[in-house]
Amino acid sequence: MSAARAPSSALTSFVVGSRYLPVYIALLLLVVVASIWAPATLSGVALRAVAPYGAVLGIAALGQMLVIMTGGIDLSVPGTMSLAAVIVVGVGDGSNEHIWVAIATALAAAAVVGLVNGILIGGLKLNGLIITLAVGLIVVGVVNRYGSTFPVQSPVPTGLSDWTSTRILGVSPIFWIGVVLTILLIVGLRYTAVGRRFQAVGANPVASHVVGVRVTVNQILVYVVAAVFYAIAGVALAGLLRTPGVAVGSTYLLGPIAAVVIGGASLTGGLASPLSTFAAALFLTGLNQMLRTMGLPTALQFVVFGVVIIGGMLVSGDRIVRGVEHLLRERRRQGPSQGAILADSADGRAWKEEGM
């Protein structure tokens, strides 16, 4: 029995882990293509310039990943990011003395937005796609009204913008914040009881409720936490841009969703990788930079981006796992050999692990 468990465990790990391979293959292809047609993209200066923007997208994508792990999609990301950025400008009032008050206010306001989403979706069981779109539109309206109360192109406090321009190990501290948040999510989801319960709720809310997990509370909290992630991304983006406008987050509607999909998350909920999601965000940012370096027209850049997103859907984690499982079942049908039995065992255990 012990001899059989090792191969079975290896097959199980392969089935579950195969869903995250495309993003790393995509990163490798990006490096190869850039080295041939746009080598300037891989220069130290270019990488240092791209890293913080990749981290901003990565942080927003991590929040979106948490929502998708519950089987939903959050369309209030642009509004929440814009709200956080504008609050930093308005409450900060250009004074370094108000930096922390402005940041705290931005995070609290975003948490309220997430709480509204969570109550309407998790508590009242309304359609998540429509609710987050509607709440996002309301937030955009609030942002535009609030932004009209101070001069256009007002700057963030210089302390924040100067901090984002500093270098830690050669890279903006925003990048390292993204790395830290990624690590925290990896540890939290994999090694804590709260994280495991959260994954179980996403994979099978009915079964989770039967065993006593507070499904509604988990669903509400996930929108709050996700909104805080969007706010962190919005504050970081405001610091990078120095004078963010009221529509600063408008370009972050599909980017975070694309990063989560390319990162191999299960769109039915329950399974995702923070590391793969953050890597996918870096890939998308690097791809955008490469297209700009190559001098492609904006229209063609949108075409390439759309093709990449469609390609990410075609090789999504769910499709890859189903393909691997099909191969294992075909192997089983070839005969009742030891390897076929092990493949069948791995197939079942992979489904079990995916439902955790």
pLDDT tens, position by position, 175-186? 999 999 999 999
The DSSP code sequence of 210-273 is: HTT--HHHHHHHHHHHHHHHHHHHHHHHHHHHSS--TTTTGGGSSHHHHHHHHTT--TTSS---
Residue 2: which H helix or E strand, with range? helix 2-17
What band does 130 get if pLDDT is binned at 50, 70 and 90? very high
Alpha-carbon distance of 35 to 76, in angstroms, equals 37
The pLDDT, as a whole number, for residue 328 is 67
Q: Looking at per-residue confidence, does 171 or 152 come out higher? A: 171
What does the pLDDT look like over 135-144, one tens digit per residue?
999 999 999 9
Any idea which of 1-10, 207-216, 250-259 has the lowest mean pLDDT? 1-10
CB atoms within 10 A of CB 152: 9
Alpha-carbon distance of 39 to 78, in angstroms, equals 32
SS3 297: coil
Residue 352 has pLDDT above 70, yes or no: no
Alpha-carbon distance of 258 to 312, in angstroms, equals 8
Q: Give long-range contacts, CB 8 A cutoff, 24+ apart: 36-43.
A: 37/290, 37/294, 38/290, 38/293, 38/294, 40/293, 41/286, 41/289, 41/290, 41/293
Residue 298 has pLDDT above 90, yes or no: no
**Mean pLDDT, all residues of the chain:** 86
Alpha-carbon distance of 192 to 199, in angstroms, equals 11
Alpha-carbon distance of 107 to 59, in angstroms, equals 14
The pLDDT, as a whole number, for residue 346 is 43
Closest C-alpha among 270, 266, 254, 253 to residue 310:
254
Percentage of residues of the chain with pLDDT beyond 90:
62
* Ranges 195-204, 261-270, 280-289, 343-352, most confident: 280-289
- Beta carbons of 77 and 64 less than 8 angstroms apart: yes
- Beta carbons of 56 and 236 less than 8 angstroms apart: yes
Residue 63 has pLDDT above 90, yes or no: yes
Tokens standing for residue 308: 């990449």
Any idea which of 66-70, 262-266, 279-283 has the lowest mean pLDDT? 262-266
Sequence-ordered list of residues with C-beta below 8 angstroms from that of 77, at least 6 positions apart, any chain: 60, 63, 64, 136, 230, 249, 252, 253, 256
- Beta carbons of 172 and 48 less than 8 angstroms apart: yes
Distances in whole angstroms, Cα of residue 69 to Cα of each of 36, 66, 77: 37, 5, 16
- Beta carbons of 40 and 289 less than 8 angstroms apart: no
Residue 170 has pLDDT above 70, yes or no: yes
What does the pLDDT look like over 229-262, one tens digit per residue?
999 999 999 999 999 999 999 999 989 999 998 9
To which residue do tokens 């995702």 refer? 272
What band does 323 get if pLDDT is binned at 50, 70 and 90? low
What band does 82 get if pLDDT is binned at 50, 70 and 90? very high
How much is the average pLDDT of 213-228?
93
How much is the average pLDDT of 332-353?
49
Q: Which residues of 269-306 are buried (b: 16+ CB within 10 A; e: fewer)?
A: bbbbbbbbbbbbbbbbbbbbbbbebbeeeeeebeeebe
- Identify the DSSP state of 119: I
The pLDDT, as a whole number, for residue 320 is 62
Percentage of residues of the chain with pLDDT beyond 70:
85
The pLDDT, as a whole number, for residue 282 is 96
In single-letter form, the type of residue at position 342 comes to: L
Can you name the residues that pair with 168 across neighbouring β-strands? 171
How far separated are the first and last CA of the chain, in Å rounded?
24
Tokens standing for residue 68: 């998708």
Alpha-carbon distance of 122 to 340, in angstroms, equals 42
Closest C-alpha among 58, 213, 250 to residue 136:
250
In single-letter form, the type of residue at position 89 comes to: V
